[in-house]
Structure 1
């Protein structure tokens, strides 16, 4: 085993910097600086151009940034679907943008509204609810609001990790590729690095340390809790949909359309059929143009 000391690293960095600045290497140095500068300038000008274009959407029109439409559902991210479903429920005017899916926090979705940028699907929903007076949970009791918040967190912070475990660890992104409308070499390379990143996050978070059987048991418990609480009600909190239904729609849609071969589809069909019907109900109510939102449209 080779051990490199801190002093050796400092000497190596110093010598490298001296070579980079030396007369001999000056043409290479200049070329590197010019290429790097050109790339940075291109990125800056492209971002500025896109923001000018988004500004033409109109006053109080939300520009929703997310990943492109896909073959079996309007998207493969539960969080993008969650936010777009809320915009439809609230009847807030919006347009989609697929050119810059990752926002200021490096996550998707995010929105541009009247020249301002907002990130994180839940924070965006809360902000829009205040701005447009579209808080669908305001009519709930305090206990109901607490239950809705608990289910929302369970889906986004627990169920989500179980689904990631299947998609990136067990299935190795095969289902994700199958759901994607255009599979290029660049996409496969991007998915390779994304999978490596997610697997690392799964290990740090803890779900990645469990066996496949253990994770499936956790997901089953989450789905059972949602199913039992939903019962025969049309929506999770009663007769009318609210924000937590948008969250559930995003995750149930992923299981039903973008997880081919997963045990979770079987769970919905055999063990929790009311969740299937619940997803269909929300889809018919808020996504009447579902087929037109697929890529390619049906």
Structure 2
């Protein structure tokens, strides 16, 4: 009986192997599907565990999700620095977490607050302003609120794309790689894939269709407008910092620290030095732990 069973098993195994060998595509497809399903299950499980951990942090504590800390700045994204600066300026309790930097809208940063997920830095700031009564521009006359909004949009919708052209198309992610602390896979993505992806995105958006000098001149006009309006004031809208100062600080942080070799460093430091003075003022006011944040990311 045992002999028959063993022989039957051998025959079945041989026939099964022959069947598999004759259908390599089907086998590869089945293995790939199984691997994908397993990966998705693990991802979903890890995602649930992260949310359980965030829920234990405390009621009304903002969990700020963003890219990992940078070597020279608290973050290599102007949007993450913008939002973190707002949280500090508004004195809203928060913790930083880089376990899941990309949010539900495919953007970074985003937040979780009491189990709710809110994405897009500007929408987050508006939501927090309502919840905590922290509208930092409400003291301005309506006309100046409109100016602040226009400057904010100029930076986030125009300067952003010009800087992306330099970072990803011209520099091909070299400076980003140097000022980030990345594992080998992330470094490969930043150094090899992002330039290709962002080049296509800048082309679709329109900024990538212009020559390098044309983009540089466009951004010079934007930077000059910010500098001229700032003038000798301590902050963009007067004696008190507001939301638009958080945005400006996010961009000057990138230019001054993470864009070495770009023409924009000279613009801010030499041509429009009041913008660097504004950066230093905001940094002194809100980031006494700047060096600790950066050195911790660099592992020093």
**TM-score, with structure 2 as normaliser:** 0.89
1:111 maps onto 2:111 in alignment: yes
Q: 1:277 to 1:48 in 2, by over 3 A?
A: same
Show the counterpart of 1:8: none
Which residue is equivalent to 1:134? 134
- Whole-angstrom CA distance in 2 between matches of 1:29 and 1:185: 25
Figure out how many residues of one structure are paired with residues of the other and give that number: 279
Structure 1 contact 177–183 (Cα < 8 Å) conserved: no
CA distance in 1, matches of 2:183, 2:29: 37
| CA spacing shift, 1:284–1:30, aligned 2, 3 Å | same
1:296 matched residue in structure 2 = 298
Secondary structure of the structure 2 residue equivalent to 1:63: strand
Give deviations 1:25-60, integer Å, cap 9, x for gaps. 765554333322211110110000010011111000
Aligned residue number for residue 241 of structure 2? 241
For 1:275 and 1:146, the matched residues in 2 are separated by 21
SS at structure 2 position matched to 1:138: coil
Structure 2: any 5+ residue segments left out of the alignment?
1-19
Which whole-Å CA distance do the structure 1 matches of 2:28 and 2:256 have between them? 53
Q: Is the 8 A contact 2:174 2:191 kept in 1?
A: no
- Would you say the 8 A contact 2:66–2:98 is kept in 1? yes
Give me the whole-angstrom Cα distance separating, in 2, the residues matched to 1:38 and 1:203: 36
| 1:46 alignment counterpart | 46
SS state of the match for residue 234, structure 1? coil
In the alignment, structure 1 residue 90 sits paired with structure 2 residue 90: yes
RMSD over aligned Cα atoms: 1.9
SS of 1:160 mapped into structure 2:
helix
Which residue matches 2:273? Answer: 273
> Normalising by the residue count of structure 1, what TM-score does the alignment of the two structures yield?
0.89
Aligned pair in 2 of structure 1 residues 260, 28: CA closer, same or farther (>3 Å)? closer
* 1:201 aligned partner: 201
2:259 aligned partner:
259
Counterpart CA distance in 1 for 2:199 and 2:184 is 22
The CA deviation string for residues 153-196 of structure 1, in whole angstroms up to 9 with x for no partner, is 00000011111111011111111111113452542234422221
Once the 2 structures are TM-superposed, how far is the Cα of residue 23 of structure 1 from its aligned partner? 8.4
- 1:167-246, aligned counterparts within 5 Å? 167-182=167-182, 184-246=184-246
Tell whether the 8 Å contact from 2:159 to 2:222 is kept in structure 1 after alignment.
Answer: yes
Matches within 5 A, 1:12-51: 28=28, 30-51=30-51
Could you say which structure has the larger radius of gyration?
2
Change (3 A) 1:205 1:55: same
Unpaired segments of 5 or more residues in structure 1? 1-19
Is the CA contact (8 Å cut-off) linking 1:291 and 1:297 kept in structure 2?
no
